[in-house]
Structure 1
Amino acid sequence: MRLTADLKDLATVPAFRALLGVRLVSQTGDGMVQAGLATLFFFRPQNMTDAAGVAAALVVMLLPFSVVGPFTGPFIDRWRRRQTLLVGNLVRAGLIGATALCLSTVGIGPPVYALVLIALGVNRFLLSVLSAGLPQIIDHERLLVANSIVPTLGGAASAMGAVLGILMRLTLPEGAQDTASLVAAVALYTLAAGVVTRLGRDELGPERVDRSTGLAPALAATADDLAAAVRYLIRRGTPGLALITMALHRFVYGMELITLILAARNLLAAPENADVGLALFGTLMGAMVAGHGLAVVLTPLAHERVTPPTWVVMCLIGGTVGQIVLVVTHSVTAMTAGLFVFGVGVQGAKIAVDTIVQADTADAFRGRAFSIYDVLFNSAECLAAGVSVLVLPDVGWSRTVQAVLVVVVWMVAAGYRCAVRRLGGGPRDVPAV
């Protein structure tokens, strides 16, 4: 089977093994941090969460990188990506360590929120670096398989970290609940920095390192660099369409995420029982992550028969089968099954979009492309947070809203399919200048 052969081939590439190791270790730390944030923002006994509160917390966590994100792409295309991963992991270890210290000494306040915001921005930046560097060590024929393995196993590692963090929250004494998962994340980020040293200094690119560019000149050139990248992606066709489609689908994902938080907190459990709500949220998110895992297997197999754009459409439509379950009922069992199916569609489409952007974008623009990717990714969820305040009840679940989300995905899938057909199924020939 081609999948088995590709997996064996990838395992023989030392740089791929190292890059995968960095992702798994660091994203386990991300899961620990996310569990801590879920406890702080949504599942503290004193927090009686409503739609506005959840939306505000998500915007606080996502909006900063949407603002600073455009400025990161040029650096990914100018600076050694291996060194960026090394320094970045050490920086976020320090930030999360400082967050834990603030929580244990002065409690939740502006310093904690500021440190968390900066750390989350660094996290997203480093994920862009990982995505931009992958095509430098893997040929295009095996890129989709690599994209199935690296981000999805990274997501599974993040989920495992989150589960461990939730278990800490439920089992540790009250004084240690808020900081335990954060301290564990510090150790994991430091370990990830050590794994990065197994890569050569120039192994992840970029192809042309601009050693003379300092911070001020790079910032001054950012606007022109980003404008050039946007023009390139639009003219190239396929990567621009894939990014737009991803952003629209991420809006739907954001709406479903807020639904889960509110339903677990206020509908499926008694609002005053935050620990039960946290456990239910972990179960529902676990089902979605399990769907992501199945997408790891299905996507490379599908690639043997269909193109990545076709797979995007199939995943969007297939994922709505799970969403239709949420239209019908809000029982825990049914929601768990529906979210599993939805998770397959979300991750399968994302793997294909990653592959399209990587394969159809020249290396000179790849860092900026993934910076734009992350900005769209986070901005779509911020928009979902704003819309949720207007349309979702405090219990999260609404049959009407769920039905509208299904129709939105159908329209996105149809629009993307038509646009790709007009391009002839492939990118336009655009000079990378």
Structure 2
Amino acid sequence: MTAVVDEKQKVLARQLLTLREFRRLLYLRFSSQWADGLFQTGLAGAVIFNPERGADPLTIATGFATLLLPYSVVGPFAGALLDRWDRRKVLVVASLLRAVLILFATIGLLAGLPSGPLFLISLLVLGATRFMGSGLSAALPHLVPERTLVQANAIAVTLGSVVAVVGGGCAIGLRKIFGEDDFGSGITTSFAIVGTLLAVVFALRYERGRLGPDQVDEPSGTVVAVARGLIDGAKAAWNAPRVIAGFVALLAHRASQGIALLMAVLLMRYYFTDYGWLKAGLTGLGEIAAFAGAGIFIAGVITPKLVERFGRHKVIVGSLLVVAAGMAGLGLPMVLPTMLGAAFLLFGAGQVIKLCVDAVIQADIGDESIGRVFSLYDTLLNVMQVASIAVAAAIVPANGYSHGLIVATIVLYLLGVVGYLLASRRDHATHVV
């Protein structure tokens, strides 16, 4: 049975990769996410691991908020506009704007701007990035058959996440070449402009209207459309029980992930020391990113097989339980090697859940609302992650060492299982998904 499923998934993946427009979407996503990974890691290095600057838990939490809040603030605008405007045009304009803003961030770093103005510029950069992410997700159903959405997401989202990790690794390498001070950080972040401009080139190769929307269910005024984006997205999601259940599972995951990320940065900055060939500091964060990327990649390979064999419902529940067990067994020892293993499971299982929920949204939500639902989805998840980071920052020790917070992540995953099962009761067909 397993061999049959494996062969079926391989054939499906090969068929998807023969679709020229799907491949083009991959190239667009890869160039954009490489730039995103490089910029975010360059910013983290500039503010947190820069010998010319200090970083306490509050500063680090502010940095995370800078990276995540644009996904929440811009989300409602992105959703309404992606369901109203030609998505190809949105992708092109957002990429060009992001390239200009990255240039400003580079100049700010070279000039030695304080962290506050840098965070503000970064908010704008990542706001433009939000349009890219929502646009790519909303465009995918226009390029592949519905029956292949899980596999297409597994390929696009997973490999895109791995490419983002590669971009982060490039940033670490470039900092080694150009230096870890403000000047070196500025030169490093400037390379993100290359990937952003490549995304423009790939987006322009689509015909106008090819990425949707096919239908427009919007009021005549753009301001009104934007203002009601979250409400419309919430209504569409509420009428799709499987989508609401998926939201619950991912909210629990993002809350736990936020706590774990803050602790990882503090531990690498102030507590861990080199452990054999494993390194602490920014290089240690690169190692965490590498293990997380490996988990994400493997998740992309196995998720379609797991869904085919066990059904989406059992896969989501099982993933929540696996990562809860992983945080107990690998997170609680609080030593560098086991933390890397915890990162592998946390990001891998989280990616399995995300791929399942993405496919549910794309299958259960109409094209006239899908952009708004994806934006609502991103908004809720990132607000939850920022909130969990803020709460953790208020109580975490300065060096990040806290068994209590690890236990909190485990409890959140278990609550996620309970919440998902309760939310799933609205869908009487869940057990056959």
TM-score normalised to structure 1 length: 0.92
Residue 292 (structure 2) pairs with residue 288 (structure 1)? yes
Alpha-carbon spacing, 1:209–1:422, altered in 2? closer, same or farther (3 Å): closer
Partner of 1:66: 72
- The CA deviation at 1:401 is 1.6
Taking the aligned partners of 1:175 and 1:371, their CA distance within structure 2 comes to 34
Deviation, 1:278, is 0.6
Matched, 1:195 2:190: no
2:326 maps to which residue? Answer: 322
Of 15, 24, 27 in structure 2, the residue corresponding to residue 18 of structure 1 is 24
Matching residue of 1:299: 303
* 1:276 CA drift (Å): 4.7
* Matched-pair contact (CA < 8 Å) for 1:77–1:364: yes
* CA distance in 1 between partners of 2:378 and 2:151 (Å): 21
Partner of 2:184: 177
The match for 2:389 among 385, 391, 409 is 385
* Cα displacement string for residues 105-145 of structure 1 (whole angstroms, at most 9, x for unaligned residues): 35346543322111111112210110011011112211000
1-structure distance, mates of 2:171, 2:48: 14
| Kept in 1: contact 2:76–2:229 (CA 8 A) | no
**Paired residue secondary structure (2:310):** coil
Q: Equivalent residues in 2 for 1:99-114 (5 A)?
A: 99-105=105-111, 107-108=113-114, 111-114=117-120
Who is 2:58 aligned against? Answer: 52
**What corresponds to 2:124 in structure 1?**
118
Q: Is the 8 A contact 2:217 2:368 kept in 1?
A: no
Secondary structure at the aligned position of 1:303 is classed as helix
Q: Is the CA contact 1:80–1:209 (under 8 Å) kept in the aligned structure 2?
A: no
**Secondary structure, counterpart of 1:43 in structure 2:** coil
Give 1:187 shift: 1.2
Give runs of aligned pairs for residues 182-331 of structure 1, distance below 5 A.
Answer: 182-208=189-215, 217-269=221-273, 276-331=280-335
| Structure 2 partner of 1:79 | 85
Decide whether the 8 Å contact of 1:28 with 1:158 is kept in 2.
Answer: yes
Any conservation in 1 of the 2:134–2:371 contact (CA below 8 Å)?
yes
Identify the residue that residue 4 of structure 2 maps to in structure 1: none
Alignment-derived partner of residue 155 in structure 2: 149
Please report how far the alpha carbon of residue 225 of structure 1 lies from its aligned counterpart in structure 2 after TM superposition: 4.2
In the TM superposition, what is the alpha-carbon distance from 1:4 to its structure 2 partner?
0.7
1:334 aligns with 2:341: no
Q: Output the CA distance in 2 between the equivalents of 1:210 and 1:245.
A: 29
User: Which of 416, 420, 431 is the equivalent residue of 2:420?
Assistant: 416
| 1:396 to partner: Cα distance | 1.4
- In the alignment, what sits opposite 1:29? 35
CA separation of 1:175/1:317 partners in 2, compared to 1, >3 Å: closer, same or farther?
Answer: closer
- CA distance in structure 2 between the partners assigned to 1:210 and 1:198 by the alignment: 27
Task: Check 1:51–1:176 CA distance in 2 against 1; reply closer, same or farther (3 A cut).
Answer: closer
Instruction: Pick from 123, 126, 133 the counterpart of residue 127 of structure 1.
Output: 133
In structure 1, stretches of 5+ residues that fail to align are 428-433
| Stretch of structure 1 that moved more, 141-150 or 397-406 | 397-406
Write the distance in 1 (CA, Å) between the matches of 2:305 and 2:51: 45
Counterpart-to-counterpart distance in 1, 2:79 and 2:162: 26
Taking the aligned partners of 2:401 and 2:407, their CA distance within structure 1 comes to: 11
- Partners of 1:28 and 1:188 within 8 A in 2: yes
CA distance in 2 between partners of 1:226 and 1:158 (Å): 28
Contact map agreement 2:330 2:341 (CA 8 A) in 1: no
Q: 3-state SS of the aligned residue for 1:305?
A: helix
Percent identity, aligned pairs only, is: 30
* Mean Cα deviation higher: 174-183 or 38-47: 174-183
Distance 1:181 1:211 in 2: 42
RMSD: 2.1
Q: Deviations over 1:395-416 (max 9, x none)?
A: 2131122122112201211221
Unaligned runs of 5+ in 2: 1-6
Residue in 2 aligned with 1:88?
94
User: Conserved in 1, the CA contact under 8 Å of 2:248 and 2:416?
Assistant: no
Higher alpha-carbon deviation: 300-309 or 61-70: 61-70
Shift of 1:237: 1.4
What residue number does 1:430 align with?
A: none
How many angstroms apart in 2 are the aligned matches of 1:327 and 1:225? 39
For residues 263-285 of structure 1, give each alpha carbon's deviation from its aligned partner in whole angstroms, at most 9, with x where no partner exists: 10011039xxxx95111111122
* Structure-2 separation of matches of 1:210 and 1:299: 33
Distance 2:204 2:42 in 1: 28
Q: Do the aligned residues in 2 keep the contact of 1:88 with 1:122 (CA within 8 Å)?
A: yes
- The residue matched to 1:363 in structure 2 has which SS? coil
TM-score with structure 2 setting the length: 0.92
Give 1:243's aligned amino acid: F
Kindly indicate whether the alpha-carbon contact (under 8 Å) linking 2:135 and 2:371 is maintained by their aligned counterparts in 1: yes
Q: 1:345 to 1:109 in 2, by over 3 A?
A: closer
The corresponding residue for 2:165 is: 159
Q: Identify the range of structure 1 (253-262 vs 314-323) with the bigger mean alpha-carbon deviation.
A: 314-323
Secondary structure of 1:201's aligned partner? coil
Counterpart position of 1:431: none
* Matched position secondary structure for 2:92: helix
